[in-house]
Structure 1
Amino acid sequence: MWASGDYPSMVEAFLLPLGPHLAEAAGAGPGRRVLDVAAGTGNASIPAALRGADVVASDLTPELLEAGRARAQAAGVELDWVPADAENLPFADASFDVVMSAIGAMFTPHHERTAAEMARVCRPGGTVALLSWTPEGTIGALFRAIGPFAPAPPPGARPAPLWGSEDHVRELFGDTVTWSPMTRHTLDITAFPEREAIATHFIERYGPTIAARRNAAANGREADFDAALAGVFHDADLGGGGDSRYAFEYLLGVGTRS
């Protein structure tokens, strides 16, 4: 799913501020070995490396890792790129000082497995840091809107935006992580002057939207899907009749491995 469309271009278009925010909050820097889980194109990995950390970027989608390597080369930094399933990480226990994920781990089907793996590979006293879209924000609304059109999820899968709920994160990690107060922030988006442009952007480039729309088309519901998606961005538009403007809400959580 994540290899469909053009997710790397979405990162470049409006997602770039998220990576540096997480890398800084996680305390990535010299002398710290960092694992970025479900790293995609390295939106958080590359800023962590630029801050002097020893970084491993892991992701299940080889195409995203290839795009990340090109971005890292352009930025003039070196880091390791490792194909890996977030639910079964190929790393030893307690092998990282920082384990983080920026809108990545949240999209794994089985939340408990991913949380357990992130805690397992983080050393005691190390840092676990997460940045996830909230259920109440625009991306949460998008997933509610496209859910009825999407293919059936794997057995046991849970909705991705739950990772943006403080209670859910605390439940997932239990007593393995002691969290500092979690905070909500917004990513301000002004890259799409017309409301239709952002809907088209998601239809053409965002894997989950592409998969749901393809399934809708196979069932003769493509027009219904397009109307539902347009409704999400209509309701979220803060432009007040002028240029479209959006504020995508996300939860930032930073904790200490017990």
Structure 2
Amino acid sequence: MDELKQKHRAMWALGDYPAVASDVIPELGEVLVKACNVGPGQQVLDVAAGTGNAAVPAALAGAQVVASDLTPELLATGKAAAPVALEWREADAEALPFEDASFDVVMSVVGVMFAPHHQAAADELVRVCRPGGTIGLISWTPAGFIGQMFKTMKPYAPPPPPGAQPPPLWGDLEHVTALLGDRVTDVVAERRTVHVGNFADGAEFRDFFKRVYGPTIAAYRNLADRPEDAAALDRALAELGDGPDGRDWEYLLLTAVRA
């Protein structure tokens, strides 16, 4: 594994991302499973599955499911808590260890969007999906709350490596359809929001993400010897959390059929 992937794996092992998946956005997995019409007998791959936010409901729907992720700590947490049997597999979204056309459904909930090289990840989603199978994605949008959060953190975070693209671009319909190209048909896309009522105010949102969310933790670690910048980021994230989008986080739900 190259240095960039090692850093990504370590970042997502920071804090407690399972708390975000289970306490803040638990319903997103079920939304995608329903949109992909997952059912008994299907072979399903959840890419960048984390703790199985989509993989578990897919397995509960009767599918044979593989949950793959770059970060083994997340897989271990998901496996320990899963109420149903499925396969947990460490894998890089940009180099999936599966044969061509292996799955009836290939999906990802705010996961594959964080792979640094978007085209490589999209190529893998398409490659492992059988012709006539479904590709389903939920991604935070650039203009939505999480997209704004990444924009807010950008001046304070370590610079991205050469060639890496911003994760929220996956929430831009034009960008993601260009990635998939004419290898898919029947694209259905809809912007939706997930209501988040976990936080009393912006400060509580900020403190939660400082404690549990890998990219936010990494940004603050980058400011360890810059207390004035850390204080500025504190203020900016609290203001964002108090803003009009703080309780309704926009995402793009997209499904497509492998040509």
Q: Shared fold by TM > 0.5?
A: yes
Task: Report the counterpart of residue 246 of structure 1 in structure 2.
Answer: 247
Say whether residues 1:133 and 2:140 are aligned partners: yes
Q: TM-score, normalised by structure 2?
A: 0.93
Residues 1:39 and 2:40 aligned together: no
Aligned equivalents of 1:179 and 1:253: distance in 2? 10
Q: Which runs of 5+ in 1 are unaligned?
A: 238-244
Partner residue, 1:224? 232
Pair 1:118 & 2:125 matched: yes
Matched residue type, 2:88: W
CA distance in 1, matches of 2:250, 2:150: 14
Alignment of 1:156-175 (within 5 A): 156-175=163-182
Shift of 1:94: 0.4
- Partner Cα distance (1:232, 1:194) in 2: 10
Q: Does 1:49 align with 2:49?
A: no
Q: TM-score, normalised by structure 1?
A: 0.93
Name the structure 1 match of 2:99: 92
Q: Which segments of 5 or more consecutive residues in structure 2 lack a partner in the other structure?
A: 1-10
Number of residue pairs matched by the alignment: 248
| Residues in 1 aligned to 2:225 and 2:36: alpha-carbon distance in whole angstroms | 43
Q: Which residue of 1 aligns with 2:158?
A: 151
Task: Report the 3-state secondary structure (helix = DSSP H, G, I; strand = E; otherwise coil) of the residue aligned with 2:249.
Answer: strand
Q: Offset at 1:180? A: 2.7
- Alignment partners' CA distance in 2, 1:158 and 1:106: 9
Q: Is the 8 A contact 1:65 1:81 kept in 2?
A: yes
3-state DSSP class of the match of 1:218? coil
Q: Which secondary structure state, in structure 2, belongs to the residue aligned with residue 39 of structure 1? A: coil
Return the letter of the residue paired with 2:254: G
Paired letter, 1:20: E
Letter in 2 for 1:112: Q
1:159-209 deviations in whole A, cap 9, x for unaligned? 000000110110101111114330011100111123321111011100010
Shift of 1:231: 2.0
Q: Return the alpha-carbon distance in structure 2 between the equivalents of residues 236 and 206 of structure 1.
A: 22
- Contact preservation (8 Å) 2:135, 2:256: yes
